[in-house]
């Protein structure tokens, strides 16, 4: 019989990687809080309409990638494939529109049925921010700057390139779509099957096709910049001027798109060459039409999401775990005293390891295996004198310390 295994595309996160994830999440949250963003949480699953309305019935995510099922009450629900739609739903169902502008940070698991690749899983984790109710370019500048600050704190930014594009306003987008469809129709028989399907429903997605034949055709496709109206040009100019003022470097990429109709103006991605083809680690854009499309009041929005797994593969500043201190009874009958001392020291904030069995030698070996910084030895003499012997495991030096002063004495070990 084959032993039980994780479902394909999922995996167990062991302590070391879990520590990396926690560091990344906490770093992103701390930076977001400095910008005034508050942490929120939405359910892991939503009514399927939350995503079908926003991502579109014909999008790849909806047709191929969503984990959708009927629950015991007969409702069709979906494990969330991304975070923005849930935040927009929360804005509407929570009656939060009167409190605009709103600034939210979130992190948690997402689910997509994709082919597992390096840094991409069917259950994956994201951190993201959403700025709602700010229609001015300064909102775009702020969320990009926040993303750059997170990557800087993680020690990643210097190895990243910020790619930037504008999708213009609705009028510019409509004009460009017409030009694009007319161009691709001349090559429709040469396009991949996926791109042929996108030609009528979502032609902008052809621009970022990974198919080699499609990419050759895309090389001579019309440029978005030729369809931008004056207001769209001015909006994007303000964004780039703001990034220049903050000394945030970027490269313009006219093929960088967001294929859904509610996206507008700024689209951006932070990319690295350190992960092969899965080089995008943080991406976002402006989505002024999303809340209205979901049935809410027209509300400007801009934000980004970052993949925790990919950031963990790149992060350089992950701190080492706190080295524990081992409390060791010299004789088995002193286990009760050791347990009481360990409890007291933990309440003082120390990381304490208490061996569950074994003689003195065995417990010291375990302390070394755990990379303990010190051991506290409790023997008959120490207990009689109300003291403990503290041994520095890196140097072998030791001294006897009174029980009352022990907590202060241990501060030297950090």
CATH number for the domain that contains residue 61: 3.30.930.10
pLDDT band per the 50, 70, 90 thresholds, residue 63: low
Task: Tell me: do 271 and 342 sit in the same domain.
Answer: no
Annotate 263-290 with DSSP letters as a single string: -EEEEEEEE-STTTT--EEEEEEE-TTH
Per-residue pLDDT of 334-391, as tens digits, reads 999 999 999 999 999 999 999 888 888 899 999 999 999 999 999 999 999 999 999 9
Task: Tell me: do 269 and 163 sit in the same domain.
Answer: yes
Domain-located, residue 368: yes
Domain-located, residue 122: yes
Provide the number of structural domains found in the chain: 2
In terms of C-beta density within 10 A (0-12 exposed, 13-18 middle, 19 or more buried), how is residue 8 classed?
Answer: exposed
User: How far does Cα 182 stand from its chain's mean position?
Assistant: 38
Domain termination residue (choose one: 314, 335, 359):
314
Residue 143 has pLDDT above 70, yes or no: yes
Among 54-63, 201-210, 290-299, name the one with the lowest average pLDDT.
54-63
Domain-located, residue 8: no
**Are the C-beta atoms of residues 47 and 154 closer than 8 Å to each other?**
no
Per-residue pLDDT of 334-347, as tens digits, reads 999 999 999 999 99
Q: Which domain holds residue 52?
A: 15-169+229-314
Task: Tell me: do 279 and 392 sit in the same domain.
Answer: no
Distance, in Å, from the CA atom of 318 to the CA atom of 308, rounded to the nearest integer, reads 13
Task: Tell me: do 54 and 154 sit in the same domain.
Answer: yes
Task: Tell me: do 361 and 236 sit in the same domain.
Answer: no
Task: Tell me: do 308 and 233 sit in the same domain.
Answer: yes
pLDDT of residue 177: 86
pLDDT of residue 258: 75
Domain-located, residue 44: yes
Task: Tell me: do 257 and 405 sit in the same domain.
Answer: no
Domain termination residue (choose one: 314, 340, 375):
314
Domain-located, residue 223: no
Residues 6 or more apart whose CB falls under 8 angstroms from that of 196 comprise 188
Task: Tell me: do 268 and 409 sit in the same domain.
Answer: no
Outline where 95-134 has alpha helix (H).
none
On the question of a cis peptide bond just before residue 29, with omega within 30 degrees of 0, the verdict is no
Mean local confidence (pLDDT), 51-55:
79
Domain-located, residue 88: yes
Task: Tell me: do 309 and 332 sit in the same domain.
Answer: no
Mean local confidence (pLDDT), 29-52:
96
Task: Tell me: do 26 and 128 sit in the same domain.
Answer: yes
Share of residues in the chain with pLDDT > 90 (%): 67
Cα torsion angle, 235, 237, 239, 245, sign: negative
Domain-located, residue 183: no
Among 109-113, 198-202, 299-303, 324-328, name the one with the lowest average pLDDT.
198-202
Domain-located, residue 175: no
Residue 42 has pLDDT above 80, yes or no: yes
Write down the mean pLDDT value for the chain.
90
């Amino acid at each position: 019989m084959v032993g039980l295994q994780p479902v394909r595309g999922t995996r167990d996160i062991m302590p070391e990687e879990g520590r990396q994830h926690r560091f990344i999440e906490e770093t992103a949250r701390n930076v977001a809080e400095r910008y005034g963003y508050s942490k929120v949480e939405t359910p892991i699953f939503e009514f399927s309409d939350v995503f079908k309305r926003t991502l579109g019935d014909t999008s790849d995510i909806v047709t191929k990638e969503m984990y959708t099922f009927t629950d015991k009450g007969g409702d069709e629900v979906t494990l969330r494939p991304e975070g923005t739609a849930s935040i927009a739903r929360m804005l509407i169902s929570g009656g939060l529109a009167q409190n605009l502008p709103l600034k939210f940070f979130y992190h948690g698991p997402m689910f997509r049925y994709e082919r597992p690749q390096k840094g991409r899983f069917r259950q994956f984790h994201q951190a993201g921010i959403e700025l709602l109710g700010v229609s001015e370019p300064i909102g775009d500048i702020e969320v990009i700057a926040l993303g750059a600050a997170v990557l800087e704190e993680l020690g990643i930014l210097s190895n990243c390139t910020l790619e930037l594009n504008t999708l213009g306003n609705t009028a510019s987008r409509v004009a460009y779509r017409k030009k694009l469809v007319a161009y691709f129709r001349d090559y429709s028989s040469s396009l991949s099957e996926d791109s042929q399907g996108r030609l009528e429903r979502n032609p902008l997605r052809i621009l970022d096709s990974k198919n080699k034949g499609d990419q050759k055709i895309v090389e001579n496709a019309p440029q978005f910049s030729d369809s931008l109206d004056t207001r769209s040009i001015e909006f994007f100019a303000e964004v780039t001027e703001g990034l220049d003022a903050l000394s945030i470097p970027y490269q313009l990429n006219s093929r960088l798109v967001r294929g859904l109709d509610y996206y507008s103006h700024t689209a951006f991605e932070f990319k690295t060459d350190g992960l092969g083809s899965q080089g995008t680690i943080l991406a976002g854009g402006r989505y002024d039409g999303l809340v209205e499309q979901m049935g809410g009041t027209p509300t400007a929005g801009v934000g980004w999401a970052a993949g925790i797994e990919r950031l963990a593969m790149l992060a350089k500043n992950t701190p080492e775990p706190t080295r524990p201190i081992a409390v060791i009874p010299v004789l088995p009958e002193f286990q009760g005293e050791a347990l009481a001392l360990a409890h007291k020291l933990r309440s003082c904030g120390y990381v304490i390891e208490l061996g569950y069995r074994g003689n003195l030698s065995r417990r010291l070996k375990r302390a070394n295996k755990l990379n303990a910084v010190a051991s506290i030895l409790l023997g008959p003499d120490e207990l009689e004198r109300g003291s403990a012997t503290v041994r520095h495991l890196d140097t072998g030096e030791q001294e006897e310390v009174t029980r009352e002063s022990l907590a202060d004495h241990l501060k030297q070990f950090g």
